[in-house]
Amino acid sequence: MNYSCLHTHTVFCDGKDDIETCCRRAWEKGLVSIGFSAHAPVTKKTGFKSDWHLGDDRLEEYLEAVRAARSRWEGKLPVYLGLEADYIEGLAGPVDADYPSLGLDYLIGSVHYLIPPNGAAPFTVDGPPEELEQGLREGFGGDGEALTQAYWDAVTAMIRAGGFDILGHVDLVKKNNRDGRLFNPAERAFLRRAEEAAQAAARAGIAVEVNTGGLNRKKTAETYPSASILRFFRENRVPAIITADAHRAEDLDGHYTDARETLLASGYTETVFFEGRKEGAAIWKTEEIR
């Protein structure tokens, strides 16, 4: 079975390796293509300080560096230019008007931040546990269900707003759900929100990623999303793409056999590979899972 990785972070944001090292490892590992997806700059748009996003002042340099890699690897390894865009309620999203002018091959849409409805400070659901605890306490009065609902509200709003090709780590909120701290993943209310996201994704014509980043960084015992959530995407005929959310070149195909198992367990018989754009839409090549 062929593999690719379109969700790759480098030293331009919070990854450990540079673009060339990642291309070389992807080639050595036999991946059919690689795509770079730096965390798109947020500071100018939101005022948030961040050490894990691409700086606004380095965006152009990043775009040029990936284009240069594409030229160097031409004929050997297709190299795609992407970004992982944050959806931050009321402040930033993949639908923002600045993205279409960048000449990207693709955009991943992801929710990391929550904006508490009571005016408390925004926080990320996948940051250190202390940050989550503080956000839960100050932003949601300790109500894990309310935090979880706010997460799904953001995911669904991002999908409906559109502007992106791949839905990033759709159940990321589980990363800090130690011992069911926030929610019970088997509960109907939780699964219902995931199903709603799957239906919205089908209408939007986007792909869902089966992301092994949590496994690669030993933060979760399963892919994003879980098989029980991925099943809703399969029922709604949403194409699924395997990605590593790699922050090191070594992880570019990390835990891909687990992703394959999750796809099969969810009823998928096919996966998709990105092959560029035509008339504004992503071209997906379908391959049977073997």
Residues of the shown chain interacting with Zn ion in the complex, contacts defined by CB under 5 A: 84, 110, 245
Structure token pair of residue 141: 């009065």
* Among the listed residues 148, 254, 128, the one whose alpha carbon sits nearest the alpha carbon of residue 193: 148
Cβ nearer to Zn ion, comparing 46 with 290: 46
CB 36 within 8 A of CB 80: yes
Cβ nearer to Zn ion, comparing 109 with 116: 109
Cβ nearer to Zn ion, comparing 222 with 245: 245
* Among the listed residues 245, 237, 225, the one whose alpha carbon sits nearest the alpha carbon of residue 270: 237
Least distance between Zn ion and beta carbon 88 (Å): 13
Least distance between Zn ion and beta carbon 286 (Å): 24
Cβ nearer to Zn ion, comparing 84 with 165: 84
Give me the DSSP letters along 16-64. Answer: SS-HHHHHHHHHHHT-S-EEEEEEPP-HHHH----SSSPPGGGHHHHHH
Least distance between Zn ion and beta carbon 59 (Å): 17
Give residue number: closest CB to Zn ion: 110
Structure token pair of residue 30: 């036999």
Least distance between Zn ion and beta carbon 66 (Å): 15
* Among the listed residues 286, 290, 285, the one whose alpha carbon sits nearest the alpha carbon of residue 261: 290
